[in-house]
Amino acid sequence: MDAAIEQAEQVGEFVHLFNSQEYFEAHEVLEDLWVIEVEPFKSYYKGLIQVAVALCHWHRGNVSGALKLWNSGTAYVAPFPAVVDGLRSGDLIDGLAPCFERLKMDQRSEFPAKDSLPKLVLEP
């Protein structure tokens, strides 16, 4: 299979799993790409992986882990444009930022309701 097609399928699977709140599984899919990727995209994928794991930690009640990975993940994604190869990660980060700000202010904040979380969009 062509490497670009395989990469697109993995990114699509990541988006699907992420939006289904299957954050651990989503990170696993993207980690397969991260391992073989080269810079600068290696850092971009690392950031998205860490954002997914931050949500996984929060969902499981590990607030300190969630905040640590949110901070490092967003730092990796920040240098990139809002849309990278059709992946609208900038909108996702902007949409999640208020949730994590609330968590920083009140570490007892409950994980947001599924319908209230922004979706990760992959443009055709």
Spell out the per-residue pLDDT of the chain, length 124, in tens: 687 888 889 999 999 999 999 999 999 999 999 999 999 999 999 999 999 999 999 999 999 999 999 999 999 999 999 999 999 999 999 999 999 999 999 999 999 998 899 999 999 8
Cβ(67)–Cβ(79) below 8 Å: no
Please state, in angstroms and rounded to a whole number, the distance separating the CA atoms of residues 90 and 63.
23
> In this structure, are residues 107 and 63 in contact, taking their beta carbons and an 8 Å threshold?
yes
Q: Report in angstroms the alpha-carbon separations of 114 from 117, 119, 124.
A: 6, 10, 25
pTM of the model: 0.95
Distance, CA of 124 to CA of 102 (rounded, Å): 33
CA distance 4 to 23: 24
Report CA 39 to chain centroid distance, whole Å: 18
Q: How far apart are CA 43 and CA 46, in angstroms?
A: 5
Query: 82 with 91: CB under 8 angstroms?
Result: yes
All domains of the chain, ordered by start, with CATH? 3-116 (1.10.3450.10)
CA distance 115 to 74: 22
